[in-house]
Amino acid sequence: MVELVEEFGQAVSAPGTVRRFVVRAYSAPQPQGVLWDAWLVFFPEDGGPPLVGDRETSQQREDLLYWSSGLEPVYLEGALERVARAQGQPLFRHEPWGSDLAELLLEERIAYRLARQHLIEGGRAVLSPAPAPEPEPGHA
């Protein structure tokens, strides 16, 4: 079950670029155990597919909520740089899912589609309404 953890109020850009991104933190419980994985997703204000990050942390759900509430813009900018560099590489947070990976990927696609719709229609009119292709399964 993919859950939105936090939407950060300030858009970020990678140093040296003018492209800006709205950042959201998502989480999902690990397939076995009590820990949840959390990752960041960067939605470009000018349209295009979101940049999906790898696991930033694994914690119990309550601790994960606290973690996300303390992320500062400088952390998000660094995470954006890491995500941009890693595009096209497999996400190690997907590895433990095994045969359940397809279900997780579907949940992620739905979550990102709903986020984009929310950001365009309700929350952030700055996002381009142009439809964005979805990331391919197993890729950021």
Q: Residue 42 and residue 3: Cα distance in Å, rounded?
A: 15
Burial of 85 (0-12, 13-18, 19+ CB in 10 A): exposed
What phi and psi, each to the nearest 5 degrees, are found at residue 9?
-70, -30
Q: Residue 140 and residue 128: Cα distance in Å, rounded?
A: 20
Position 33 pLDDT exceeds 60:
yes
> What percent of the chain clears pLDDT 70, i.e. is strictly above it?
86
Domain ranges of the chain: 3-123
| 79-99 residue pLDDT tens | 999 998 888 888 989 998 988
pLDDT attached to residue 127 = 54
pLDDT attached to residue 60 = 95
Position 52 pLDDT exceeds 60:
yes
Position 100 pLDDT exceeds 50:
yes
According to DSSP, the residues that pair with 7 across neighbouring strands are 24
pLDDT attached to residue 10 = 86
Distances, alpha carbon 52 to alpha carbons 33, 35, 42, 136, in Å: 24, 20, 6, 11
Distances, alpha carbon 112 to alpha carbons 17, 63, 102, 115, in Å: 24, 23, 15, 5
